[in-house]
Each structure stands twice: as structure tokens, then as C-alpha cells.
Amino acid sequence: MLKYRQIYYVVTLLLVFGLFSSGVFAQNYQVKLMGLPKGFHAHDAKIDSATLILFANKQISQLRKSGYWLASLDSSVFYADTVRLYFFAGRQFDEINLSVYLNPTEEAYVSERRPSIREENISAVNKRMDEVVKYYENNGYPFASIQIDSSRVVGEKINLYLSVDPGMLIKFDTLAVSPEGLLKDKFVARYLGLNYGKYYSQIRVDDIANKLENIPAVSLVHASNSFRLHQSKISLELKPEKVNYFDGILGFIPSAENSKKLEFTGELNLSLKNLFQSAKQFEFHWEKYTRNSQSLNTHYIHPVFLGMPLDLFLGYDQLKQDTLFSNRTLKLAFDYYPSGRTKLRTSYENLLGNELNDGSGQSGNFRIDYYGLGLEFWRLDNRQNPKQGLAFQLDTKVGFKEIEQDTTAQMDVSQYQFSTRIQYYQKVKSRSVIYLAGSAGWMQSDQLYLNDLYRLGGLRSIRGFNENEFFASQYAYSNLEWRFYLEDNSYLVAFVDQAILTYDIVTGDLYDNPSGIGVGMQFKAAGGNFLMLYGLGRRKSQAFSFDSSKIHFGYSALF
């Protein structure tokens, strides 16, 4: 029966289209919908005659998605300024046997040409139809469509036979990037997965803006997509961003051992975000934060390493803590982005810990090989300067540790790490933003030393204290800020930090619950950003006091 109704429907619409093309009814009509089932939400409309066929098709599609799989257009009656569309809805079926007949194509669904039949409910049928179309759209056929070929009623069930029309096969043409000299066209095409000659993928096209957010050196102004001669031509207009920076503080302080001598101290930071016009990144951070303590952190990021959808991460860290210990860490990681706002990481770290002149036995001589997995995702309005949204990070590591107890003895143990961080930004008014963050970490081993532990305190964790003042094998802390924006990158801030820290190492344990409060400001200066925070800290052995207050500040010269 459905086939006959479809034939009548097509003939009727062709006649109507013929009249429209001759100009007889080139006007607006008030459309009245007749024969629709009770409870079906559809409204009369006033539309142009040229869109009448599309309007009728939309109503039939909505009926079928609601379970009226036999729906069709019976007839149409025209008056002076009104047209009545009479629909046949038929019965509503909740149980469906679905068969999808897939037309042979060059690439899509090669392994699924045999019909797949199973019982479904209405929502599952609609989901299945969407999945089939999306598969074609992401495998070279952006104009694919699926429709009911025929149907058969068996008792209280209906057998639906669907057919797929893949449409034209489309491949990506050469990607165009402007302005020239900012990013290489070939690199951007590989980074976005839009290589020349590759089969068209709608999901990759939709993800362009999200993936470009992960390249700090540029921002997307406009993206266009046009189809011609079986090819998709994508053009991107980018804007350069000032994200490279160099800053530092160098100075001399009197020596604690000899007041006539001076000691060198300070901090240097260098960040390059777009080496060789291919978004390669290099970071260098050095700091001497006490007389005998200093740290060095460097890393290099190579996107789409060897043409693969992986980013290579190489890192080198060195930490010397007074006369207690010295740690050296080598890092190797591969980052994979399943989407523009999700990152997966697999990593390897080699940590070499050396005891210096620590007679207490708190520090140890050991070597650890860590193997890790990480997850990161974000839903932010602007990743570089967020004011609304959520970000989450999770890291897990399993380590195999070799401990040198003396010149002849050695102990092998396992070591585990787990850390997580969540950040939330919420606009409360046009200029006010609430920032809330929570972080936690856990480390477990049969033999833990002081130079195994997490380091906390300072500008990036618990403010109101010196950098890396705290040691912890387990920690949890929160950061709460209220920011009042004067300009896009300039704001006043008030903050409260609260933490719980503990460790249990070979020589003893510790518990503390430090707090930090303070105010500050960040403002955009000529050529860079200046940040200054004034904080007070409290811990078990220290109450809030202006005598122990800390000033955290820094200037980043952007270029």
C-alpha cells in the first residue's frame, strides 16, 4: 500500500511543481494541515509556493520519526490564498523490524552490504538511520541520504526496508591558509586531518575550530568550505597571537656564609609557541628560589610527529633541594587528540634521585621507570583566557623502583601515582568571573623518600607560601577566586586557598592543613602581562601574620 501512496504523492507534487514553475501560483500561501493524528504538534504556516514541497516532506519526516511509518501526503487542494495538505498518518508502530539495504559504493560500508535486521523501538530506528548517514558523511559522502524503500505490516509490527543513496564521492582539495608565513599549509592540513586526496569527513570539518584552539600562536577568524568537481576546498583565515614570551629576574644577595660575598639568584622563563611555522613548542624555566636550591624545567612539543596524528613530547627536569638531594627526570610522551577538546597521553619517565649531604636518611638514592596514562578534556569559551567553562585532567603512573641501600645491596619495589585537577569558570556578571579549582594527588610505595614526594606551595598551587615549600605523598587543595575584569586580559582578584597535606616516608610522617588568602591584580602592559599577588599563609606551626606575607609577581614580555 505504501508504494502506491508514494507514487500518488510523487505525481501530485510533480503537478504542483509544474504549476509553480509556470508562474501561475508564484505567491505566498496560508498552509492548512489536515489529517494529522491527535497529539502531533504541527502548526499551520504561511510559506512561499516554491518551498511547499520541502514543507510537506518535513511533516512526513516528523510523522515517521514519531512512529507513523506509513505516513504520506494524500492530496493538496488550492484556493485563492490558501492550500490544504491532506496527510495519511496510518497506525503508530512501537515495534519495528529494521532492514538497511546499503548501495555499493567505492569505500563506505564495504563490510556491511548484507542487510542488518533486528527489532527496534522508534528512537533506536531514528538513531540507527542517523548513524548510517553519519558514517557516509565521514567517509567521503557528505550528501548521503537514507529513506524508506518499502514496508510491510505483520500483526502489530512493521517491517521497514531502508535504502541508502550515498550521493557524490568527495575528496579534500589542497587546504588554503591565510595570511602566508603564519603556518605552513601542509602542516595545517596534516594537523587537522584534511590532507589532499583524503576522503571527506564531516566530523573533521566540524572540529576545525576546536583543534585550532590547541595551537596557541593563532586564532581562527573565518573558515569556508566549497564543493567543486568532486572536491572540497577549505580555506582558513587565521590571526597571529602574541603568546611567545621571555621574562626573568636576575639579582645578587649577600652570602649567608660571608657577608662580603654575593650570591647569584633569580628566575628565567622562555616560551616559543610556533617554531618553523609548524606549531612546534619549546619551553625553558629556570629558578633559584633559595640559597642552595634551584630547578630547571625544559620541554619540546612536536605536533603530528612523522605525519602521524600524535604529538611528541620530550622533557628534561632537574631539581636541587638545598644540600639534601638532587633529582633528574627524563620524559617521553605521545599525545593523541580524539577530538579538538580531548587529549589522551601515554608516557614514560626516568627519575634518578641522588642523596647529597642528608645525614637524616630522609633522602634516598634510587632510579624509577614510570609508565603512565593521562586524560585531559576541556569545554572552555577561550582556552588561552577562559571566563566560562570546565577543564579536567587525570594522570596515572606505575613505576618500577630500584633503591641503592649501600654499595652492595639493592631493593626493588613498585611505586604508584595518581593525580587529578578540575577547574571551573563561571561568569556572574559582565565583568565578574568566579574561578574554582580542585586538585588531588596520591603516591604509594613500600619505600618513600623525601625526594620522591610531590612539591607544593607558591603561585601555581597554595599561595601565601614560598615556591615548593611543602612535601606531600597525598594532598588535596582547592583554589577559589573572584576576578573583576577591567579589560579582556586585565583584572583584580581576591583568592582563598585551602589544602590538606600528608606524607609517610622511611624516617617519619607529617600532616598539615595550610591556608592562603590574598588579593592581587593582572594587567596588560606594553608588550606583555604583569601579575602581582599579595598573600598571607597559615599552617599548623604558623598563624596568619603580615610578618610572613608573600608577594608573588611576574612580568611576561610577549612577542
Sequential DSSP letters for 91-134: ---S-EEEEEEEPP-SSTTGGG-S--EEEE-HHHHHHHHHHHHH
In this structure, are residues 329 and 316 in contact, taking their beta carbons and an 8 Å threshold? Answer: yes
Mean pLDDT by 10 residues, the chain (559 residues): 47 46 59 84 74 84 83 87 88 77 52 49 78 91 86 81 88 93 93 94 94 92 93 94 80 60 76 94 88 90 94 96 93 95 96 87 92 96 91 97 79 95 94 96 94 91 88 96 91 96 90 95 77 90 85 70
Provide Rg for the chain, Cα atoms: 33
Identity of the residue numbered 107: E
User: For 193-348, where are the alpha helices, taking DSSP H only?
Assistant: 202-206, 208-212
Give the number of other Cβ atoms within 10 Å of residue 376's Cβ. Answer: 17
The DSSP H or E segment spanning 195 is none
**Contacts of 318 by beta carbon, 8 Å cutoff, 6+ apart:** 295, 296, 326, 327, 328, 329
Please report the DSSP string for 144-163 in residue order.
Answer: -EEEEEEEEEETTEEEEEEE
pLDDT at 20: 43
Nine cell digits for residue 297: 624545567
> Among 555, 500, 544, which Cα is nearest to 522's?
555
pLDDT at 212: 93
| Helix, strand and coil in the chain, % to nearest 5 | 15, 55, 30
Identity of the residue numbered 189: A
pLDDT at 120: 60
Cα distances (angstroms) measured from residue 258 to each of 61, 154, 225, 263, 357: 87, 99, 70, 10, 21
DSSP 67: T
Nine cell digits for residue 24: 501561475
Beta bridge partners of 390: 379, 424
